[in-house]
């Protein structure tokens, strides 16, 4: 049985699309994306899921009184769908230590820098690329890591570097890091972890 995967999203879903394409091409040999959970009811990622015929649900934090209620709703969806692995693909809500412990070594995230550089609390989206440019580094990239209670603090699974060009601004760098690094290593790391989980079940 393939590892049952949920992808958590909040926005456009370009990383979700990379995962869907990887699955469609037969490269996600040990896993299957069976559920997409969005924290945003108007996320374009939900349309991507629909086009790929993948079940999706929205669990909006603003509709929940507490973090606990938010996470309980998510856990309920995960259990109902037999989810064994979670991929965070542009998910803009921090998950509590209780949640990450519950799915230890089962949650992975992609971050748009070479961890431990330009990461941690408050470092997401364009902020990461702005920081890399203002610091003057010549190489940046992306990292896929396991998720624990420390933002961007879990064990690294894969990294890929991207050279910074003199002409780069935060937007152009963000696009290149996504295209050259994130969309490559996130699907590959998903397959690696799905395979490890599948082997564990034997």
**What residues are labeled active site?**
111
Residue pair 60/92 in contact (Cβ under 8 Å)? The answer is no
- Compute CA distances 57 → 32, 106, 198, whole Å: 17, 20, 25
- CA–CA separation, 180 vs 182, rounded Å? 7
Strands 55-58 and 31-38: parallel
Residue reference for tokens 């542009």: 90
Q: Which of 68, 121, 77 is nearest to 96 (CA)?
A: 68
Residue pair 39/61 in contact (Cβ under 8 Å)? The answer is yes
């Amino acid at each position: 049985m393939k590892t049952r995967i949920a992808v958590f999203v909040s926005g456009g879903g370009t990383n979700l699309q990379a995962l869907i394409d990887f699955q469609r091409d037969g490269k996600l040999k040990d896993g299957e994306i069976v559920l997409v959970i969005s924290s945003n009811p108007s996320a374009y990622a939900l349309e991507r899921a629909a086009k790929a015929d993948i079940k999706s649900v929205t669990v909006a934090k603003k509709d929940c009184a507490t973090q606990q209620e938010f996470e309980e709703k998510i856990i309920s969806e995960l259990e109902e769908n037999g989810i064994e692995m979670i991929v965070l693909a542009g998910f803009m809500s921090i998950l509590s230590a209780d949640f990450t412990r519950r799915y230890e070594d089962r949650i992975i995230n992609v971050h748009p820098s070479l961890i431990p550089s330009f990461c941690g609390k408050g470092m997401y989206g364009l902020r990461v690329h702005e920081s890399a440019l203002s610091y003057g580094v010549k190489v940046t990239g992306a990292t896929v890591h396991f998720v624990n209670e420390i933002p961007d603090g879990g064990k690294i699974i894969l990294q890929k570097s991207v050279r910074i060009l003199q002409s780069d601004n935060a937007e152009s760098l963000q696009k290149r890091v996504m295209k050259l690094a994130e969309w490559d290593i996130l699907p590959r790391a998903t397959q690696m972890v799905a395979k490890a989980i599948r082997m564990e079940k034997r």
